Chains A and B, each alone.
Chain A
Amino acid sequence: MSHIVSIKTRLTDPVALSAACRRLGLAEPIAGSARLFSAEATGLLVNLPGWHYPAVVDTTSGEVKFDNYAGAWGQPEELDKLLQGYAVEKARIEARRMGHTMTEQALDNGSIKLTIQVGAGAGGGNGGAA
């Protein structure tokens, strides 16, 4: 190994967000505004299972706005699944764009392991312009 990087996921790609929704069997995100109990938010609306209000993804900032009243109006695990699915699908899109191949493996602890083989296809390399 050479180095290890920790990354906080930000949802900035509508295509990857749509792919994550398909992966989880959710309806496609819809652009618009939604009322979140006492506030209103604009972005891509994702209806999570069992949630009273949609999760609103601002792809400009990458942030998700929501109000699940500390779990009473929606299980936080559902949002976690969306974030995980997004990260996997975004990595897949970018790996493909770079000409790399990616394999996916579910781990026992609920994590998903992605192995990206660098330079496996066209466009590989270590410092090429993206």
Chain B
Amino acid sequence: MKTIEVIVSPQGQATAQTRGFTGSSCRDASRFIEQALGEKTGEQLTAEFHQVGVSQTETAKQCG
């Protein structure tokens, strides 16, 4: 399941964390919430960000 988890602090600042995405697709998925809430002040990539999804690999093979 692909989800975006947003924690809004008591002071109103937000942290958005994507789950279930692979590769850079998470950035596209969460961009709408970043743009909606305000100004991005920081970003931290995790190990999953650098993974290539299975579907992407298979697509590449088919195209090749």
Enumerate chain A interface residues (CB-CB to B < 8 A). Answer: 1-10, 12-13, 62, 77, 80-84, 86-88, 90-91, 93-95, 98, 100, 107, 109-119, 126-127, 130
Q: Which of B3-21 contact A (CB under 8 A)?
A: 3-21
Q: Which of A4, A8, A77, A127 has the most CB of B within 10 A?
A: A4
Total B residues in contact with A, Cβ cutoff 8 Å: 44
A-B contact pairs, 28 of them (CB 8 A): A1-B17, A1-B19, A2-B19, A2-B45, A2-B46, A3-B26, A3-B45, A4-B44, A5-B15, A5-B30, A5-B42, A6-B14, A7-B37, A7-B38, A7-B41, A8-B13, A84-B8, A87-B6, A91-B14, A93-B36, A94-B36, A95-B33, A110-B10, A113-B6, A113-B8, A114-B6, A117-B3, A119-B2
The A-B contact count (CB < 8 A) is 156
B39 touches A8 (CB 8 A): yes
Q: Which residue of A lies closest to B9 (CB)?
A: A111
- Asked if A7 and B39 sit within 8 Å, CB to CB, the answer is yes
Main secondary structure on chain A at its contact with chain B?
mixed
**Chain B 36-61 per-residue mask, 1 if CB under 8 angstroms from chain A, else 0:** 11111111111011000000000000
Question: What is the CA–CA distance of A13 and B30 in the complex, to the nearest angstrom?
Answer: 19
Contact of B8 among A3, A88, A94, A130 (CB under 8 A): A88
